Structure 1
Amino acid sequence: MDMKLEVVVVPVSDVDRAKGFYTGLGWRLDADFTTEDGLRVVQLTPPGSACSVIFGDEVSAAAPGSAEGLHLVVTDIEAAREELAGAGADVSEVFHDAGGVFHHAGREARVTGPDPERRSYASYVSFADPDGNGWIVQEVTERLPGR
């Protein structure tokens, strides 16, 4: 049976501010509704993604800004960085990890610039939403077999 990741819940403190941030990045607004009991659900989808994010009022008990390591995949890391910066995101410089396998948590072992060999899966940028939820953008130019 196929199992596909559909939605990731992102904890935020101000729903309208988060909605403005993500729509400002060009993410598609799929839903924004409020029930009679105060549940508000906002769903947005990054361009080209099959998975969406949801946030809102009474959607998550997690602390706002506590999500980290949320990954987006692009085919051109430098173009993605320019686009994010142009949309107002405080995006890092392009980096690769000193160990070369996968990036470390936080900013540890970051080396400025793309992977010297421009290997797929090895170059990144990072940014955070207004609450501090942490996103990593990873360059994937050629998928591993079976992916």
Structure 2
Amino acid sequence: MDMKLEVVVLPVSDVDRAKRFYAEQLGWRLDADFPIDEGYRIVQVTPPGSECSVIFGKGLTQQEAGTLHGLQLTVTDIVEAQKELESRGVQVSGPFRDETGAFHHAGDSHRVPGLHPERASYGTFAAFADPDGNEWFLQEVTQRAPGR
């Protein structure tokens, strides 16, 4: 049986501000905005090319706003992706790689500035945050690992 990640619930403090950031500033597709009642609102956005959406709103999670870290977006050219985000007014840190050459550590203490020396798939990252501090990573993948 296939199991596909469909939705990630994002904790935000201001729904309208988050909607402006994701749908307008980042340019993600706005799929839905359902103001059910005063305490329950569902906003759904989808990054370009993604099959997985992000939902935020009111009454959707008990998680505190800004506490989701490590969300990851895969891009084929991290330099171009960073330029595009920065052109939209988003502050991006990177590109960087982890000193181990594997996936990145939490925080930024093990980051080595710059692209992976061979520009190896899965080896280069960049990071940005939404207005609440939810942290997103970009990972450059130019060739998928076998079976992926």
TM-score, normalising length: structure 1: 0.98
Aligned residue pair count: 147
What SS is found at the alignment partner of 2:3?
Answer: coil
> Deviating runs (4+, > 2 A) in structure 1?
none
Please give the per-residue CA displacement for 1:36-71, whole angstroms capped at 9, x wherever unaligned.
Answer: 363100000000000000000111110000000000
Inter-partner Cα distance in structure 2 for 1:36 and 1:87? 32
- What is the identity, as a one-letter code, of the residue corresponding to 2:122? Y
Residue 26 of structure 2 is matched in structure 1 by 25
- What is the identity, as a one-letter code, of the residue corresponding to 1:76? D
Residue 94 of structure 1 is matched in structure 2 by 95
Q: Within 5 Å, which residues of 2 pair with 1:15-94?
A: 15-23=15-23, 24-36=25-37, 38-94=39-95
What SS is found at the alignment partner of 1:8?
Answer: strand
Inter-partner Cα distance in structure 1 for 2:91 and 2:17? 15
What SS is found at the alignment partner of 1:64?
Answer: coil
- What is the identity, as a one-letter code, of the residue corresponding to 1:5? L
- What is the identity, as a one-letter code, of the residue corresponding to 1:12? V
Inter-partner Cα distance in structure 1 for 2:96 and 2:39? 42
Q: Shift in Å at residue 26 of structure 1?
A: 1.1
- Judging by fraction of residues, say which structure has more strand: 2
TM-score, normalising length: structure 2: 0.97
Inter-partner Cα distance in structure 2 for 1:132 and 1:143? 30
Inter-partner Cα distance in structure 1 for 2:2 and 2:36? 32
Q: Structure 2: which 5+ runs fail to align? A: none
Residue 135 of structure 1 is matched in structure 2 by 136
Q: Shift in Å at residue 34 of structure 1?
A: 1.2
Q: Say what the alpha-carbon RMSD is for the aligned residues.
A: 0.8
Q: Shift in Å at residue 32 of structure 1?
A: 0.2
What SS is found at the alignment partner of 1:21?
Answer: helix
Inter-partner Cα distance in structure 2 for 1:38 and 1:101? 42
- What is the identity, as a one-letter code, of the residue corresponding to 2:100? G
